[in-house]
Amino acid sequence: MSFAPEILRAETAHARRGGTAHAFRHSVDYVMIDPESRARTPMLFSRNRLNLTSVHDRTHGGPRGQGRGALWAREVLAQAGAPEGLALRLLAQPRFFGYWFNPVSFWLALDGDALVAVIAEVSNTFGERHSYLCAHPGFTRIGPQDRLTAAKIFHVSPFQDVSGGYEFTFDMRDDHIAIRILLRDGEKGLVATLAGPRAPLTNRAIIASALRRPLGPLRVLALIYWHAFRLKAKGIAYRSKPLPPDHEVSR
| Span 158-201, pLDDT tens digits | 999 999 999 999 999 999 999 999 999 988 899 999 999 999 99
3-class SS shares of the chain: helix, strand, coil, % to 5: 15, 40, 45
Percent of the chain whose pLDDT exceeds 70: 100
Task: Indicate the domain borders of the chain.
Answer: 6-232
**Phi and psi for 193 in degrees, rounded to 5?**
-130, 155
State the sign of the Cα–Cα–Cα–Cα dihedral 26, 94, 226, 130.
positive
pTM: 0.95
219 contact partners, CB below 8 Å, separation of at least 6:
213
Is the pLDDT at 227 greater than 70? The verdict is yes
Calpha distance 45→37 (Å, rounded): 14
| Span 116-136, pLDDT tens digits | 999 999 999 999 999 999 999
Q: Contact 210/35 with Cβ under 8 angstroms?
A: no
| Span 69-110, pLDDT tens digits | 999 999 999 999 999 999 999 999 999 999 999 999 999 999
Calpha distance 220→27 (Å, rounded): 10
